[in-house]
Amino acid sequence: MRQMAHVDINTQVGSSMPLACMRTGTIIHKIEVYPAEGGKLVRAAATSAKILKKTHFKPTIGTVSNPSHGATKLRKAGQSRWLGRRPVVGGVAMNPVDHPHGGGEGRSKSSRNHGRCSLTPWGKPCNS
């Protein structure tokens, strides 16, 4: 007769329970800071946390799935827009009222060896 391994239901991946019931060193995700509030910490794709000290939080055992989330390549600018990201326009392409690098005829440089130093949108020097 084979001996079946004892599986503790509390230590299975996906179980959620108070942190006091878990062992130190357990990999967890989706941590509730306050009871019945829902998970607030460690919720992004491919993230996890490790229990170092017992507190009053209520996490879920395991890691968040989708480890290749950051490796996906966007094929066109429209995909970035679908995710809610707005386009970024350089200061050289703006007017002088909009950015310190703006204005001038054609494309005017703003690096150190061509006149002005590089500035932030508020006129403070940067890249020093």
Residue 96 lies in a domain: yes
Residue 16 belongs to a domain with what CATH number? 2.30.30.30
Residues spanned by the domain of 106: 87-127
Check whether 58 has a pLDDT greater than 80.
Answer: yes
Clarify whether residues 56 and 98 are in a common domain: no
Residue 93 lies in a domain: yes
Residue finishing a domain among 61, 76, 98: 61
- Mean pLDDT for 81-86 is 94
Residue 97 lies in a domain: yes
Half-sphere exposure of 100 (CA within 13 A, CB side): 14
Check whether 112 has a pLDDT greater than 60.
Answer: no
Clarify whether residues 57 and 100 are in a common domain: no
Residue 81 lies in a domain: no
Residue 108 lies in a domain: yes
The burial class, CB within 10 Å (0-12 / 13-18 / 19+), for 61 is buried
Residue 71 lies in a domain: no
Residue 74 lies in a domain: no
List 31's β-bridge partners, or say none: 41
pLDDT in tens, 5-47: 445 556 788 888 888 888 888 899 998 888 888 889 999 888 8
- Give the C-alpha separation, 77 to 66, whole Å: 23
- pTM, two decimals, is 0.48
With bands split at pLDDT 50, 70 and 90, how would you rate the model's confidence at 81? very high
Clarify whether residues 95 and 55 are in a common domain: no
Domains: count for the chain: 2
With bands split at pLDDT 50, 70 and 90, how would you rate the model's confidence at 114? low
Residue 121 belongs to a domain with what CATH number? 4.10.950.10
